[in-house]
Amino acid sequence: MSEFQNIGLIGRTESESAVVSLKRLMAFLENEGYVVILEEDTAASVSNHNMQVSAKSRLGELCDLVIVVGGDGSLLAAARALARYSVPVLGINRGRLGFLTDITPDQVEQKVGEVLVGKYMAESRFLLDMSVTRDGRPIGHGSALNDVVLHPGEFIRMIEFDLYVDGQFVYTQRSDGLIISTPTGSTAYALSGGGPIMHPKLDAIVLVPLNPHTLSSRPIVVEGSSEFKLVIGHSNIAKPHVTCDGHEQVITAPGDIIRIHKKPHRLTLIHPIDHNFYETCRSKLGWAE
């Protein structure tokens, strides 16, 4: 008997191709005798089914495995909602790049079938917690599997902020912002900003300045247990924004304090047994073989 009996499904509902793959997956799982639980928004995009429906926040309580049909953005959203339940997550790629969702649509039955009989790799990925305080009062928070980003928001202006790592002052920086990225996020926005690619197994965090005014300012890699504090400078004209995985957003003001640290809960990411991080880099990033 498979260790995964109750399987949750989350689909990228605005994508017709994702809905096609979702229906194909539903038919396969039902035919194989698994209990399928649809996330409520996903269920609304699929008609004529008799499957159980649940809010995304409760899937972690009800399921042994959650399968996400969509792009990396869909999986990031699922990770933020499900990490605290320790339920493993598997991705089927119906997006563009697909670093996290690594099963292709034509492999659904074969690769998902292999995972369900125990032929898979499991990786533990950590997330980041972010909070913003103003005059000692909390005004916003969020979590991220990829990155927390400080940026100017709607204005194209340099912003000024102080950075502290583990209570030690690092620098006062004027730049377009700062990316604080996990190894998972090192192949996303941080890579575009000139940051290093980090292997997913590393317990490390990279700080990538965005177009710093001081050209000698470079990415810094620190240990994963580090705690970060950003203090928004009083000379800013723009109101810097802080976002988590490009989704949860808080608008800051001068003097606000942003704190970031590793989340206590980790995500278990499932891959097919033949998954290879370096092959993924070769194929997704166009490396010469």
Chain segment 17-64, per-residue pLDDT in tens: 888 999 999 999 999 999 999 999 999 888 778 899 999 989 999 999
b/e 178-198 (16+ beta carbons within 10 angstroms → b): bbbbbbbbbbbbbbebebeeb
139 in Cβ contact with 256 (< 8 Å): yes
User: Within this chain, do residues 259 and 139 fall inside the same structural domain, yes or no?
Assistant: yes
Q: Which residues pair with 144 in a beta bridge?
A: 128
Domain stops at, among 118, 148, 173: 118
pTM assigned to the model: 0.93
The domain containing residue 106 runs over which residues?
6-118
Q: What is the CATH number of the domain that holds 163?
A: 2.60.200.30
User: Within this chain, do residues 163 and 234 fall inside the same structural domain, yes or no?
Assistant: yes
189 in Cβ contact with 151 (< 8 Å): no
Instruction: Decide the pairing of beta strands 65-70 and 6-11.
Output: parallel
272 domain residue, yes or no: no
pLDDT for res 47: 76
User: Within this chain, do residues 86 and 198 fall inside the same structural domain, yes or no?
Assistant: no
37 domain residue, yes or no: yes
* Nearest CA among 34, 42, 148, 147 for reference residue 92: 42
Q: Which residue has the tokens 């209990």?
A: 35
User: Within this chain, do residues 133 and 257 fall inside the same structural domain, yes or no?
Assistant: yes
270 domain residue, yes or no: no
* Confidence bin at 289 (pLDDT 50/70/90): low
What span, in angstroms and rounded, lies between the C-alpha atoms of 227 and 43? Answer: 39
Model confidence pLDDT, tens digit, residues 130-187: 999 999 999 999 999 999 999 998 777 899 999 999 999 999 999 999 999 999 999 9
In the DSSP assignment, the letter for residue 3 is S
Domain count, the chain: 2
221 domain residue, yes or no: yes
Q: What is the CATH number of the domain that holds 23?
A: 3.40.50.10330
What's phi and psi for 90, nearest 5 deg?
A: -125, 140
User: Within this chain, do residues 95 and 207 fall inside the same structural domain, yes or no?
Assistant: no
* Nearest CA among 74, 79, 68 for reference residue 103: 68
255 in Cβ contact with 239 (< 8 Å): no
User: Within this chain, do residues 213 and 234 fall inside the same structural domain, yes or no?
Assistant: yes
User: Within this chain, do residues 239 and 198 fall inside the same structural domain, yes or no?
Assistant: yes
Q: Which residue has the tokens 């580090």?
A: 226
Point out the catalytic residue in the list 41, 72, 162, 256: 72
User: Within this chain, do residues 212 and 239 fall inside the same structural domain, yes or no?
Assistant: yes
Phi/psi-derived region of residue 177, left when phi > 0, alpha when psi is between -120 and 50, beta in every other case:
left
User: Within this chain, do residues 87 and 148 fall inside the same structural domain, yes or no?
Assistant: no
Q: Which residue has the tokens 């005798």?
A: 33
User: Within this chain, do residues 24 and 106 fall inside the same structural domain, yes or no?
Assistant: yes
What span, in angstroms and rounded, lies between the C-alpha atoms of 75 and 56? Answer: 12
283 domain residue, yes or no: no
User: Within this chain, do residues 84 and 203 fall inside the same structural domain, yes or no?
Assistant: no
User: Within this chain, do residues 243 and 143 fall inside the same structural domain, yes or no?
Assistant: yes
Q: pLDDT higher for 243 or 284?
A: 243
Model confidence pLDDT, tens digit, residues 191-243: 999 999 999 999 999 999 999 988 889 999 999 999 999 999 998 888 899 99
288 domain residue, yes or no: no
60 domain residue, yes or no: yes
169 domain residue, yes or no: yes
64 carries an active-site annotation? no
Question: CA-based Rg of the chain, rounded to a whole angstrom?
Answer: 20
